[in-house]
Homo-oligomer: A and B are copies of this chain.
Amino acid sequence: MSVIYQRVALIGLGLIAGSMAHAMRRGGLAGEIVGTARSAETRKIAAEIGLCDRIVDTAAEAVMGADLVVLCVPPGAMGAVAAEIAPHLAQGACVSDVGSVKRDVISQVGPHIPAGVHFVPAHPLAGTEHSGPRAGFAELFDNRYVLLTPEADTDPAATAKLRAFWEGCGARVEEMDADHHDLVLAVTSHTPHLIAYTMVGVADDLRRVTDSEVIKYSAAGFRDFTRIAASDPTMWRDVFLTNKEATLEILGRFTEELFALQRAIRRGDGEHLHAYFTRTRAIRRGIIEAGQDTDAPDFGRVKVKREPTAG
């Protein structure tokens, strides 16, 4: 237990901020945790469950005297929050964020950061399908990566301190250029999410296959898509609007490959299909070996015992 920041202000109190609060307490990382959210209902729930030491009504109030301020709002809202808190930031404070897109957030937030305040953009790669102040838990970041994307002029000491903080939350921390981050995430997260949303939308929209059938028989593969297609719509709208270029590039590659496979199916080219399906197994093995997933049946899911309501 070693305090890294005397006062941490969390702006926005969803899954990530809530989990940060729990993880900070587990690790004894913060002298005081102050939280705020735009919605009065969210603030009320957070106060009721004691999520932070103090819940205040405005972001301006939350950041006063804080030596770490973390923007935990959707990517599209970062600039407005930065403008609001800027006049109230303490000298020497560090401002960070948890946005899934980095270049756009940097251009939204950066211009508002006053002299004598550090800005270290960050992105914890962790989440569940739940959102809101009740969704957080201390273990969310354990063994997960947090990517820091400091700019050339970022103070290395501020970056090092934020790294220690996230390591205290259980995470593995890496540094990366913001543009490269956005491309990597377009591949590993943004495009997969868009594809999953699309597949679920198609299934929902078919006249000849009922929703009840889709749900009952989802364990055959479809189910794996639905978890990520249940993520927060506002956040994901903002991700695609703010990481437009990289997402469209990867989507272009994706449809190109999909058309090649579609053509192989139409022509009955089994050799092409078999070679493609063999190649992709290697990546899966890499993920298991890197400890980023389990190969236990059903993802190691606990067997669900409830009776079905559908069908």
Which A residues lie at the B interface, using CB under 8 A? 76, 125-130, 137, 139-140, 142-145, 147, 172, 174, 180, 183-185, 187-206, 208-209, 211-231, 233-234, 236-238, 240-241, 244, 247-248, 250-251, 253-255, 257-258, 261-262, 265-266, 268, 270, 273-274, 276-287, 289-311
Contacts and interface: CB of A to CB of B under 8 A. Distances in A.
B276 A201 contact: yes
B130 A198 contact: no
Grouping DSSP codes into helix (H, G, I), strand (E, B) and loop, the A interface class, with mixed when no group exceeds half, is: helix
Given A189-B222, A286-B310, A300-B300, 15 more contacts: A140-B297, A172-B308, A184-B213, A184-B214, A188-B220, A191-B202, A192-B225, A195-B258, A197-B276, A221-B228, A223-B293, A234-B274, A241-B265, A290-B309, A294-B302
Given A191-B199, A192-B222, A225-B192, A237 B291 contact: no
12 contacts: A140-B297, A174-B311, A185-B217, A188-B222, A191-B199, A211-B286, A216-B290, A224-B224, A286-B310, A291-B305, A296-B302, A301-B301
Contacts of A197: 261, 276-277, 280
Contacts of A127: 220
A250 B200 CA distance: 12
A220 B256 CA distance: 23
A37 to B, nearest CB: 20
A173 to B, nearest CB: 12
Give the 8 A-B residue pairs with the shortest CB-CB distance, closest first. A189-B220, A230-B284, A233-B277, A291-B306, A200-B280, A188-B222, A189-B221, A192-B221
